[in-house]
Structure 1
Amino acid sequence: MSRLVLIDGSSYLYRAFHALPPLTAADGTPTGALFGIVNMLRATLKENPDYTAFVVDASGPTFRDALYPQYKANRPPMPDELRAQVEPMMKIVQALGFPILREPGVEADDVIGTLALQAHAAGIPVTISTGDKDFAQLVRPGITLTNTMTGSVLDDAGVFEKFGVRPDQVVDLLALMGDTVDNVPGVDKCGPKTAAKWLGEYGTLEAVIAGADRIGGKIGENLRAALGRLPLNQQLVTIKTDVALAQAPQDLKLKPRDVEALRALYAQYGFGAALRELDGGAAAPAARQAGTAPVPPVAEEAPDPALSAPGRYECITDEAALQEWVARLAAADVVSFDTETDSLDPMRANLVGLSFAVEPGHACYIPVGHEYPGAPAQLDCAKVLDTLRPLLEDPGKTKLGQHGKYDLHVLRRHGVHVRGYGEDTMLESFVWNAGGQRHDMDTLAQKYLGYTTIKYEQVAGKGAKQILFSQVALDDATRYAAEDADVTLRLHRVLSARLASAPSLASVYRDIEMPLVPVLERIESNGVLVDVAELRRQSADLSTRMLAAQQRAHDIAGRAFNLDSPKQLGQLLFEELKLPALVKTPTGAPSTNEEALEAIADQHELPRLILDYRGLAKLRNTYTDKLPDMVNPDTGRVHTSYHQAGAATGRLSSNDPNLQNIPIRTEDGRRIRTAFIAPPGRRIVACDYSQIELRIMAHLSGDPGLLGAFEGGLDVHRATAGEVFGVPVADVSGDQRRAAKAINFGLMYGMSAFGLAKQLGIGRGEAQDYIALYFNRYPGVRDYMERVRQQARDQGYVETVFGRRLQLNEIHSRNQAQRAGAERAAINAPMQGTAADIIKRAMVSVQAWLDLHPGRALMLMQVHDELVFEVDADFVDTLVPEVRRRMAEAASLKVALVVDVGSGENWDQAH
């Protein structure tokens, strides 16, 4: 079906100007807005629209000025830096082949509205590319909005979710709210929630006006005072859809692009990625098919020399200098900040100082806790925090950090609850290129800025001679700490621009990762209560059983040996007992790792006994012995740390302690979970997605058989067994279900026939037959797997449902094992990554609801596909349906997301 894409050029120009850093070409020409527009247009072209137009405002007054002379009267003139980018923008748009529309007497909105309804009447689906909320009034089946800079899409349901009203009520909503940008005064103190509430109750603006006498309070008085201007407001905010235009939607076809003009323009303004795409993009797929090197999946530009220059840093030790910097911070759009402390544990760290930057190359350090002989006088910590608190707690002031979750913890412990934490360079780097690099500041500064940072060891020493930061001299501390804030801001200038060039990645960063930061900080701060006495009992029991296993091993061997010594164990197994060495170390020696012992466990009693012994030792050493020592003396709880920028698929990991790896399939692992308890009057509630990755496979593959199994509420493994083995579901045996489960999960991880045979203990030929039967019954899964492999070969990465990318740098490797590994990752990453995205979205939604009920429940842990809560006993029945709904609605897949819920006095009982 043909499609029309209408681009709101005027809106994007302003939004790109304010959203992107002030980039410049080599000759000093400003290019920030132009950069954003070019990337937006390139993204639009990749969607291959049938018809399209780039619509901008014409100069001169419009009919709205005649209706209301003060219309847009308070809008400032276009900044010179932006004006200089208009002509280059139009040249590039024209060279790309986009029809450009300007219509005197009306606004670009009216041209777009007219064309949208004309196309809709002709049965042509319409996408309006804009960031302007006014266009929500045009949304209906067949007309959607997309914001290419953020990746968001609005349909009927999306409009209601965002504004709280239907699209046909948006005009009335805008009339009540007014529009300060266009100088349309609404009802005083009437924001979007109040306007939506009125329209939800009365239906239309006319009905609200008629019922104004029934609305009480000050807001009712304000409404009655505004009644006379509301009909005019309605006219002003209504998009005209009957403008007489020379072009019909079917006339708006792309013209051939002027490659030479584009090459000259891209080169002039320094758009390297666009230039490379222009020169090599068209031939790239054929080259890849021919077996040559692919186009790099992530284009990396050379560091900007302007962002690599030395900085100018101030040490703030008097009130006047502090107030001067507070004023500077208050005037900034983005405030880069960092904390310095005396500990790496944010739950125990004391604040030593804070650093800030608002422009590259200029930063300050405010010391509040340096203690060493001869240390200069410093400002009082409490007074500094009181002075900074309004700014740090202002949700409207955007804060920027590098791994800022740590700093949020530190400031919360010191009484400052940071709000408005909206940018994080670690996460920008992670989303931009998750698997290609480390994401610490030193690495990023070198890579993106060509800048070598001062290392902590250079100011505090290392090893046994390392001192606390509170003992570092102020001059050294200032250079180190202020540089952190400065470099963070410089990195943000680079990384934010790169994300803006990839709307799907920008959306992952903006809509998934950043909202999760304060949620994780809250979870970590909440901590979890553990039963120390129970853990001590379990440690004693594990030790007794380890001793028994050790004695049994000695009896079997006929002599004593060290079960923890790989050398002694290898000598016993492979030299004395003559067991086959089926797994080798990298040096070629017989291995005694878990895989090696499993491989020979059916040939002798000793390997299985050693595996059991190691399992007991791991539980004792990792959990039952260590957890009691990790209880925070201030809170009486254990506080883990979650890592967002770890796994390339986006899955969270945790450490100190690692709560992701407590075994759940063994009785001993479940016993450890009994020590995670609720205090008196509270309950532990666990909410776990059921078979989420299989459901995502059903969604991505679209296979009718797999979709049908989930839609019918069947046991999907039993249903698969019925399909594969050709028996009625009711007659499926336990072994058949086990084999089907192994196939279902194995194929998601790219398991071969050899791997399946090994897991099921059958011959390779029989395993291959199972897989063939599976693909015969679920051809959509086979097609998906081949499709995603080809996608990985073509573009060097695969994506989740939400647009997160996994780079597959070895997909074209000449090493067959590396290439096969990349293909397996290509199949699994979209499912595992989508599952990670879904639970992150769920966590943000659930925490927003928990915030409405302070003290009633705490989110304690995220473990793979599970969320764990501590809840007032009389609040469990309220929480469960709300959390279940929010988790289920975290994604719209072709099959429903199902959430299993349990509760109890401890974590194990909650399963």
Structure 2
Amino acid sequence: MTDYTRTHGGHTMTINAPADATEFDPAAFAAFAASDLVLGLDVETRAIVKGGPGHFGPDAGVRLVQFGAPTAAWVLNPLIPEQRRAIAEVLADERRRFVTHTSYDVLAVWSAFGLGLGHRVIDTHLLSKLLAPDERAGHGLKELTGRYLDDGLKQAETALHARMRELAPVGSRAGNNPIDWGWNHLPATDEAFTVYAGLDAVYVRRLLPLLLSRCAPFSHLVRMEAWLAAQSTGITVRGLLLDTLYTRGLLAEFRSEFDQGDQVIRQALGFSGRSPRFAAWLESQVDGFTLPRTEGGQVSTSADSLTALQDAVTAGAARISEEGAAMVAARQRLAATSNTISNLESFLAAADATGRVHPQINTLRARTGRMSITGPALQTLKKHDPRLRHCFRADPGHVLVACDFSQVEVRVAAALSRDRTLMDVIASGVDLHDATATLMYGPGFTKEQRTVSKRATFGTIYGGGAKALAAQTGVPVHVARGVIQRWQRTYPEVIRFGKDIANATTVITGSGRRIPADPDRPYANSNYAIQSTARDLLVAAVYELATTHGLAGALWLFVHDEVIVQVPEQDAEHVRDLLTKVMTSAFRGVPIAADAEILGTHWGRLPQEQAGPSVPEHAGA
């Protein structure tokens, strides 16, 4: 059998790589697998095409599977039947535990073998994010092993990439092409490929105890986050059914709207609204306002830039010609529709052959632990415009039921600061923003004053200033400053809490989560504490729903403060009531309210007359 030895940092590691069936010794491999209850698990796959179905698409394919102990690894080829059987036996053993880095390997295993590893996996990426939540801290496996062990894995990667560039054909040598070529075509028996693959599994296994020891002060979070990651992987594997006909129809509508807006500009100016000439022309139509510039120094005509221009004109701080105003409106139409077009195209591109999209939930994306969704980015789809959410639907015979917290971050702020006025307002059950507007302006407040009060509530809690409030509401800065001062006088303990926690070098939440402060933004500490606590309240509710009430398999998606489940239609009312009951609680004596609703067959509910091209019985066609 072919084996390779590497020594780094005084630590010697052996990579066993049987090249074919004759070299593979099942008994020796079984003895290795039995030598360690927890094995490092890593896979090498074909290059995944960005923006597509990923592990669930036709380009997916596992080329090597490797298992690692602290001093040895076996690198097996699933295309060789004897080795494939051995791989599957180890993976399917319920007594076996694995350590991986991110969910990539878990999803690849599901794709290639149909085996769900569930709670039998611990993720070193997750542990690293618990230790250092800042995304800039560097959570890649090569970075972590270089930090805690040695640079042997990085050396192996460098050697592998050099080998890929050496062997790549002439037409595949530009940019990153040699690397993509290598993942697809480099011989599985190539020494650089085999050594890199084996060391991946060894190093992730060696890294595990080092990270676990550092997580000991908050080991309960390790267990909860590992559980949550398994649930999120389950959502990815199950996928969301895309209403393909509706999505295609909506895409056609927006493309037509985009073309019409672009034609308005072409007819008036003789060139496209996407042309650099448009920016130069627009600048000549504006007086008293300097349009922002891109990093390359070009005039920016982004949606934000045009909105800022319009706000300046409305406030009388700038002037624009009549034709310029018309062209700005047309260009904004392009910006709005182009973003929607990009979303719709990403939905269709991400769908697998059965019409399912498999988004990945990043459970510890932000410092605070708030989750994000990629492939596609579903957390960006707004409730107030349900057309994009309507692209996703429940399976036949099922409906979607959603529940989200009501003003949870304000409630958490009251609980953490112990501000008696804010706590009394919440306990009274009246509309929070009405009550705040009354306290600030008196019972005769206007609709506009309520809006400003609402914005001031969220902005002030998170350390926002007068300029930010003015930008959000359109009021002059001096008016915004006065609003904030009123708010601070109304809820003084919230302000005191923010000032006190700003001095902390590390924010420690009620759940024990540790969030390093940003020395350049000490005011953000209150944001960290509030947002992270709200996130953990959501996770606690999800845990109860899944473990006590048996809804783990019904979990459909998490979006911000919202949980969506998919259940048989006849169970919808019962589950709606259950969601409301479980997510309605209290935190440090402050009521945490939740609202559940039956969404129906689609995530986004449209008025009946707008349901358009959706044909539920053929949704995946």
Same fold (TM over 0.5): yes
Residues 1:616 and 2:334 aligned together? no
Alignment deviations for residues 518-576 of structure 1 (CA, whole Å, 9 cap, x no partner): 10111001111121111121112112222232233456xx42232123x3232112124
Which amino acid in structure 2 is aligned with residue 473 of structure 1? A
What SS is found at the alignment partner of 2:73?
strand
Distance 1:458 1:888, change over 3 A: farther
Return the alpha-carbon distance in structure 2 between the equivalents of residues 459 and 846 of structure 1.
Answer: 50
Cα offset, 1:464, TM superposition: 3.6
Cα offset, 1:802, TM superposition: 1.7
Tell me which residue corresponds to 2:31. 327
Return the alpha-carbon distance in structure 2 between the equivalents of residues 470 and 663 of structure 1.
Answer: 42
What SS is found at the alignment partner of 1:684?
strand
Cα offset, 1:835, TM superposition: 2.5
What SS is found at the alignment partner of 1:835?
helix
Residue number among 816, 826, 835 corresponding to 2:525 in the alignment: 826
Tell me which residue corresponds to 2:108. 410
Tell me which residue corresponds to 2:448. 735
Residue number among 527, 531, 534 corresponding to 2:239 in the alignment: 527
Return the alpha-carbon distance in structure 1 between the equivalents of residues 551 and 213 of structure 2.
Answer: 38
Moved more, 744-753 or 416-425: 416-425
Residues 1:367 and 2:77 aligned together? yes
Structure 1: unaligned runs, 5 residues or longer: 1-304, 370-377, 812-818
Return the alpha-carbon distance in structure 1 between the equivalents of residues 348 and 452 of structure 2.
Answer: 41
Residues 1:674 and 2:372 aligned together? no
Cα offset, 1:752, TM superposition: 0.6
Return the alpha-carbon distance in structure 1 between the equivalents of residues 540 and 10 of structure 2.
Answer: 36
Residues 1:543 and 2:255 aligned together? yes
Residues 1:467 and 2:166 aligned together? no
Moved more, 409-418 or 649-658: 409-418
Native 8 Å contact 1:639 1:656 kept in 2 = yes
Which amino acid in structure 2 is aligned with residue 610 of structure 1? R
Alignment deviations for residues 160-203 of structure 1 (CA, whole Å, 9 cap, x no partner): xxxxxxxxxxxxxxxxxxxxxxxxxxxxxxxxxxxxxxxxxxxx
Native 8 Å contact 2:262 2:273 kept in 1 = yes
Structural mapping, 1:530-679, within 5 Å: 530-554=242-266, 558-565=268-275, 567-578=276-287, 580-586=289-295, 590-602=299-311, 603=313, 604=320, 605=325, 606-623=327-344, 625-633=345-353, 635-666=354-385, 670-679=386-395
Residue number among 72, 86, 96 corresponding to 1:384 in the alignment: 86
Which structure has more relative contact order (CA 8 Å, sep 6+)? It is 2
Native 8 Å contact 1:692 1:835 kept in 2 = yes
Give the length in aligned residue pairs.
561
Residues 1:479 and 2:174 aligned together? no
Native 8 Å contact 1:858 1:870 kept in 2 = yes
What SS is found at the alignment partner of 2:137?
coil
Alignment deviations for residues 445-502 of structure 1 (CA, whole Å, 9 cap, x no partner): 22222314222534544744413457423233331111011110121232222222xx
Native 8 Å contact 1:720 1:740 kept in 2 = yes
Structural mapping, 1:217-228, within 5 Å: none
Return the alpha-carbon distance in structure 2 between the equivalents of residues 902 and 600 of structure 1.
Answer: 40
Native 8 Å contact 2:408 2:534 kept in 1 = yes
Distance 1:868 1:319, change over 3 A: farther
Cα offset, 1:659, TM superposition: 0.6
Native 8 Å contact 2:78 2:87 kept in 1 = no
Residues 1:515 and 2:230 aligned together? no
Return the alpha-carbon distance in structure 1 between the equivalents of residues 101 and 259 of structure 2.
Answer: 48
Native 8 Å contact 1:339 1:407 kept in 2 = yes
**Root-mean-square deviation over aligned CA pairs:** 2.7
Structural mapping, 1:294-305, within 5 Å: none
What SS is found at the alignment partner of 1:714?
coil
Return the alpha-carbon distance in structure 1 between the equivalents of residues 465 and 126 of structure 2.
Answer: 35
Native 8 Å contact 1:341 1:470 kept in 2 = no
Distance 1:550 1:636, change over 3 A: closer
What SS is found at the alignment partner of 2:310?
coil
Return the alpha-carbon distance in structure 2 between the equivalents of residues 910 and 521 of structure 1.
Answer: 29
Which amino acid in structure 1 is aligned with residue 116 of structure 2? H
Which amino acid in structure 1 is aligned with residue 146 of structure 2? Q
Native 8 Å contact 1:753 1:768 kept in 2 = yes
Tell me which residue corresponds to 1:789. 502
Alignment deviations for residues 640-673 of structure 1 (CA, whole Å, 9 cap, x no partner): 112235322222222221111123334xxx1122
Tell me which residue corresponds to 2:565. 869
Which amino acid in structure 1 is aligned with residue 106 of structure 2? L
Cα offset, 1:582, TM superposition: 5.0
Return the alpha-carbon distance in structure 1 between the equivalents of residues 363 and 119 of structure 2.
Answer: 19
Which amino acid in structure 2 is aligned with residue 337 of structure 1? L
Which amino acid in structure 2 is aligned with residue 900 of structure 1? D
Which amino acid in structure 1 is aligned with residue 120 of structure 2? Y
Tell me which residue corresponds to 2:617. none
Tell me which residue corresponds to 2:215. 499
Which amino acid in structure 2 is aligned with residue 607 of structure 1? V
Larger radius of gyration between Structure 1 and Structure 2 = 1
What SS is found at the alignment partner of 2:357?
coil
Cα offset, 1:799, TM superposition: 3.1
Cα offset, 1:703, TM superposition: 0.8
Distance 1:873 1:587, change over 3 A: closer
Native 8 Å contact 1:308 1:449 kept in 2 = no
Tell me which residue corresponds to 1:425. 124
Distance 1:346 1:412, change over 3 A: same
Return the alpha-carbon distance in structure 2 between the equivalents of residues 307 and 776 of structure 1.
Answer: 60
Native 8 Å contact 1:798 1:805 kept in 2 = yes
Return the alpha-carbon distance in structure 2 between the equivalents of residues 901 and 528 of structure 1.
Answer: 20
Return the alpha-carbon distance in structure 1 between the equivalents of residues 119 and 383 of structure 2.
Answer: 38
What SS is found at the alignment partner of 1:400?
strand
Cα offset, 1:782, TM superposition: 0.9
Return the alpha-carbon distance in structure 1 between the equivalents of residues 121 and 364 of structure 2.
Answer: 16
TM normalised by structure 1 equals 0.58
Residue number among 43, 61, 68 corresponding to 1:350 in the alignment: 61
Alignment deviations for residues 127-156 of structure 1 (CA, whole Å, 9 cap, x no partner): xxxxxxxxxxxxxxxxxxxxxxxxxxxxxx
Structural mapping, 1:677-692, within 5 Å: 677-692=393-408
The share of aligned pairs that are identical, in percent, is 24
Native 8 Å contact 2:67 2:73 kept in 1 = yes
Alignment deviations for residues 18-60 of structure 1 (CA, whole Å, 9 cap, x no partner): xxxxxxxxxxxxxxxxxxxxxxxxxxxxxxxxxxxxxxxxxxx
Distance 1:468 1:583, change over 3 A: closer
Native 8 Å contact 2:119 2:227 kept in 1 = no
Cα offset, 1:579, TM superposition: 5.9
What SS is found at the alignment partner of 1:696?
helix
Return the alpha-carbon distance in structure 1 between the equivalents of residues 401 and 384 of structure 2.
Answer: 19
Distance 1:607 1:427, change over 3 A: same
Residue number among 311, 333, 336 corresponding to 2:13 in the alignment: 311
What SS is found at the alignment partner of 1:650?
coil
Alignment deviations for residues 288-336 of structure 1 (CA, whole Å, 9 cap, x no partner): xxxxxxxxxxxxxxxxx98663421112456973333333433424222
What SS is found at the alignment partner of 2:222?
helix
Distance 1:535 1:415, change over 3 A: closer
Cα offset, 1:598, TM superposition: 1.4
TM normalised by structure 2 equals 0.83
Native 8 Å contact 1:352 1:470 kept in 2 = no
Return the alpha-carbon distance in structure 2 between the equivalents of residues 536 and 410 of structure 1.
Answer: 29
Native 8 Å contact 2:412 2:587 kept in 1 = no
Distance 1:658 1:676, change over 3 A: same
Tell me which residue corresponds to 1:341. 45
